[in-house]
Amino acid sequence: MCYNKTMFVDTAKVSLKAGDGGNGAVSFRREIYIPKGGPDGGDGGKGGNIVFKADKDTNTLIDFRFTPILTAENGKNGAGQRAAGRSGKDLIVEVPIGTVVYKIGTKSVNGSVEDRKLGRAPLSVSETEYSRILLADLTYDGQEAIIAKGGDGGFGNAHFKSSTRQAPIIAEVGEPGEEFEAELELKTMADVGLVGLPNAGKSTFLSVVSNAKPEIADYPFTTITPNLGVATIDGRDLLIADIPGLIEGAAEGKGLGHDFLRHVDRTAVLLHLVDIYSNDAGEAYTTIRKELEKYSDLKDRPEIVALTKCEGVDEDIIKMQMAAILAKNPAAKIFTISSSAHLGLKELLRELSQVIVSSQRRGVRSLAKREVAPPAHGDGPGGRAPERDETITTDDTLPVISLNPKELKTAWKVEKTEDGKFIVTGEKIEKFARRTDLNNYASVNRLRDIMKKLGIRGELTTMGAEPDSIISIAGKEFTFVEDY
């Protein structure tokens, strides 16, 4: 199937794979007249990130239909003479302003699919459900967000030299970059959202007050994608979005409106158009209001109602239709307009402009109320405890993790599966495990030493771990005690 390049696409699903970190090197300096040069293996380079950037010149997500997999560059391996590997280049992906990015996956009552792959949860799964995690909301031109992080490079053996370990053969492997599926949604960034039943006159209104050229016809659903137009009143530009016609049940997926309700999420004001020739304007108004109230928080959005196609209509009919709307919402502010006859448009646009300005001012005041002074370091009121030192240090016996004493018992957790395997979880210990080369016995023993330092080894013994018991951390498995 062939897609038109100008086709409007406001949702997409894409697979992301950030770059893997490069491996550290095991190397020793060997030069004439320098018999004991020592270790000089360099560190691996960091993997490239996947970065999304909002671009004002991009207005659709259609490119992701042709590029469903995005991959960043891997970091290079380290080398001798303490040469660090080059970091992978970040992948910059331009998306339209208003793009929202979610990480999607499946979770179960026994843990997520990812957790089970890494050995963090039992393999038996009785229930699963779809999950979405908000990663970024790109709302202005040039805004960037790291969506998938590249893996850190592994340390070379030069990093592990100490007074008692003068010839280390330990080097870390690079961490894998983040890999997952993401869902993109485009939410139009407009000041005014046009809503109403099909053939309420939304497209005609937009074509008259702006430079937009939407399709106009005398049959329902002539608008099948959101249209944007800029209307100017008293020197102020209003960005108006024409949303495809809604029908009763749109919030549950009926008609076209369900797919495009997201585009009114960000609007400062809703312009609700009602056809003066409706059998019951109050009922037509209520139908749309019910759908908006079912979707997000739109029921609280400022709203202006306009009766359309009013040229040549008897005044009594106009009063009757206005009364029908006011019976449903006594606070409704109603205008009568005719787009084709250019009647009442300036007054309506001025009112919209004033509502937008007021909404923006309220937003600024609300933001100011939420702003608080940055917390001070310390344990007193309004402060916070000093951040943990997450650097890797080395003493004369083994590399250790610097953690506050209070954190040692909460930094990890051990679980035993039905088949006797021991699953160890915890941010820092998993990071070390990912960087451990299981083919290098010295690297594995280093991981065992770190487990001992953290108290994990003692917990495993208490839980009945034997020398040949399998320990699983971040998907890497090894025996409790070194095989001989």
Could you give the CA distance from residue 407 to residue 431 in angstroms, rounded to a whole number? 16
Annotated ligand binding at 278? The verdict is no
Annotated ligand binding at 54? The verdict is no
Annotated ligand binding at 456? The verdict is no
Annotated ligand binding at 202? The verdict is yes
Annotated ligand binding at 52? The verdict is no
Annotated ligand binding at 112? The verdict is no
One-character DSSP codes across 191-245: SEEEE-STTSSHHHHHHHHSS------SSS----S-EEEEEEETTEEEEEEEPPP
Token pair recorded at residue 381 = 């009121």
Long-range contacts of 319-322 (CB under 8 A, 24+ apart): 321/274, 321/276, 321/278, 321/281, 321/282, 322/281
Q: Are 202 and 215 in contact (CB under 8 A)?
A: no
Annotated ligand binding at 201? The verdict is yes
Annotated ligand binding at 122? The verdict is no
Secondary structure class of 158 (helix, strand, coil): helix
Instruction: Classify residue 477 by burial, with Cβ atoms within 10 Å: 0-12, 13-18, 19+.
Output: middle
Token pair recorded at residue 184 = 């993109």
Q: Are 124 and 143 in contact (CB under 8 A)?
A: no
Annotated ligand binding at 203? The verdict is yes
Annotated ligand binding at 199? The verdict is yes
Annotated ligand binding at 35? The verdict is no
Annotated ligand binding at 162? The verdict is no
Annotated ligand binding at 106? The verdict is no
DSSP 8-state class, residue 466: -
Helix 281-294 and helix 315-328, axial crossing angle in degrees, nearest 10: 30
Annotated ligand binding at 252? The verdict is no
Annotated ligand binding at 242? The verdict is yes
Token pair recorded at residue 116 = 């089970």
Neighbouring CB atoms inside 10 A of 117's CB total: 12
Instruction: Classify residue 74 by burial, with Cβ atoms within 10 Å: 0-12, 13-18, 19+.
Output: buried
Annotated ligand binding at 359? The verdict is no
Could you give the CA distance from residue 461 to residue 458 in angstroms, rounded to a whole number? 5
Annotated ligand binding at 221? The verdict is yes
Token pair recorded at residue 132 = 């979405």
Annotated ligand binding at 200? The verdict is yes
Using alpha carbons, select from 285, 338, 284 the residue that is nearest to residue 313.
338
Annotated ligand binding at 211? The verdict is no
Could you give the CA distance from residue 98 to residue 56 in angstroms, rounded to a whole number? 10
Could you give the CA distance from residue 101 to residue 148 in angstroms, rounded to a whole number? 11
Annotated ligand binding at 24? The verdict is no
Could you give the CA distance from residue 29 to residue 81 in angstroms, rounded to a whole number? 7
Query: Which residues lie below 8 Å from residue 15, measured CB to CB, with a gap of 6+?
Result: 68, 69, 70, 179, 180, 181, 182
Report, in this order, helix, strand and coil percent for the chain, each rounded to 5: 25, 25, 50
Annotated ligand binding at 336? The verdict is no
Q: To which residue do tokens 């599966």 refer?
A: 417
Annotated ligand binding at 270? The verdict is no
Annotated binding site for Mg(2+): 203, 223
Annotated binding site for GTP: 196-203, 221-225, 242-245, 308-311, 338-340
Annotated binding site: 196-203, 221-225, 242-245, 308-311, 338-340
